[in-house]
Amino acid sequence: MRRSSPSPGRPSVRNQEMTFRDVFVFVVGKTPQVVTETIYGLLVKESPVLPDEIYILTTEEGKKEVEEGLIRRGNLQKVFEEYGFPPLPQEKLHIVVISGVDGSPLRDIRTEEDNEAVGNFITDFIRRLAEDPGVRLHCSLAGGRKTMGFYLGAALSLFGRPWDRLYHVLVSPEFESHPDFYFKPKEERVLKLGQRRLHTSEARIFLADLPFLRLREKVSLGEKPFRELVKEGQREVELALFQREVILDLKGLTLTIGGTSLKLTPMELILYRLFLLQKLRCPEPSRAYCEGCTACFLPISRLSSPEAFQEVHQALVSIYGEGSGRVEAFRLRWERQGGVPQEVLRQKISKINRSLREQMGEDASLYLISPVGRYGTKRYGVRVDKGKITCFS
């Protein structure tokens, strides 16, 4: 029998790798049966799973149903006793009423604002539970309104760990939501449904252990509303899947994109580095992601300025050393002109882009030096996200 950490009066079996506290989380509307049906499914497994703690997330209306069906009628205690397990201590059962937009208990879920509040509440609740590495979550999305189940599953995708579990319980149609059917008893009982007599021996309860995407270690998410978490997660996933790491090592004269080494001449590498550095010097540091932002793109006149000349000159010194013939030749050729002429820079940009296209094919677009704006006001930059760029001097 799989068990978690010791709990008074309840047996514990140590997992070979780690001992967890098994915490069950349910979303419930007006059918509290999903709680005991899910617990039944976990108790009759080859290796039973018993809860050390149970959280039931519901509305004010749902709370009345939970208290009546599970507590006053004793069905929660009965499911454990029926299968030979000690009941859950009363203090380990938590009925949590979801807060509305104004912070007051939510009576029901009727409006768009209510749905938004439910999403934020469930997401934050799961995030906080998942902060404890000693807790293993068992979440059931079978109950409540469909949006509640959706939010619970989504929250587990955002914050769930490899050991957390997500379930859906399926019950024979004639027994599903029957007011007197809470789990399949060992001994047959007969229930009435209109003029029909239902034999509990014929009931089928199937507990589906659902796979889900675990994004916790793949994306960086904080304490934000559900809608913002989804947007943030989407950005992170797109960056991870579609944008490759760009690493430029000036002294090593190497450019690596997505693990592939690309060949550029030293001067092309230095010029490309200017665009990467400009990206890293983001003029809008409050933006976590670049997305469509081009605020760092530079007019060709800036690249032809004395300041840009000095930056290129210093890069050449870093590569070849002070007094090198190549460094001196560059200085003598362009210093008196106040920088590299714009036409020469345009030619270099064209060569860099042509080289990247030849080596990367269709995957080159994000890494090309791209223009924005109309003729005469064009600015140049690279579109890859700043978070994907690393430059070594």
What single-letter amino acid sits at 195? Q
Residue 391 to residue 202: CA distance in whole angstroms: 67
pLDDT at residue 39, as a whole number: 96
Could you tell me which of 239, 228, 210 has the C-alpha nearest to residue 158? 228
The pairing of strands 254-257 and 260-262 is antiparallel
113-147 exposure pattern, b = at least 16 Cβ within 10 A, e = fewer? ebbbbbbbbbbbbbbebbeeeebbbbbbbbbbbeb
Q: Return the CA Rg of the chain.
A: 31
pLDDT at residue 307, as a whole number: 92
Q: Where exactly are the structural domains of the chain?
A: 21-237, 244-391
Residue 191 to residue 125: CA distance in whole angstroms: 37
Residue 55 to residue 308: CA distance in whole angstroms: 61
146, two tokens: 């469909």
187 CB-side CA count, 13 A: 2
Q: Residue 332 is inside which H or E element, if any?
A: helix 325-334
Could you tell me which of 153, 184, 140 has the C-alpha nearest to residue 34? 140
* Strands across the sheet containing 165-171: 93-97, 53-58, 21-27, 135-140, 165-171, 205-210
Return the beta strands (E) in 109-151 as ranges: 135-140
Residue 68: phi and psi, rounded to 5, are -70, -50
The pairing of strands 165-171 and 205-210 is antiparallel
Residue 383 to residue 379: CA distance in whole angstroms: 12
Residue 367 to residue 250: CA distance in whole angstroms: 17
325, two tokens: 């013939």
pLDDT at residue 350, as a whole number: 95
Residue 72 CB burial class (10 angstroms; 0-12, 13-18, ≥19): exposed
48-63 exposure pattern, b = at least 16 Cβ within 10 A, e = fewer? ebbbbbbbbbbbeebb
> Model pTM greater than 0.75?
no
**Along the 393 residues of the chain, how does pLDDT read in single tens digits?**
444 433 333 434 333 456 899 999 999 998 999 999 999 999 999 999 999 999 999 999 999 999 999 999 999 999 999 999 999 999 999 999 999 888 899 998 888 899 889 988 999 999 999 999 999 999 999 887 888 998 999 899 888 999 999 999 999 988 987 889 999 999 889 988 788 889 989 899 999 999 988 877 666 566 667 677 777 666 666 655 578 899 999 989 999 999 899 999 999 999 999 999 998 999 988 887 787 788 999 999 998 999 999 998 998 998 888 888 888 998 888 888 888 999 999 999 999 999 999 999 888 888 999 998 877 788 999 988 898 999 987
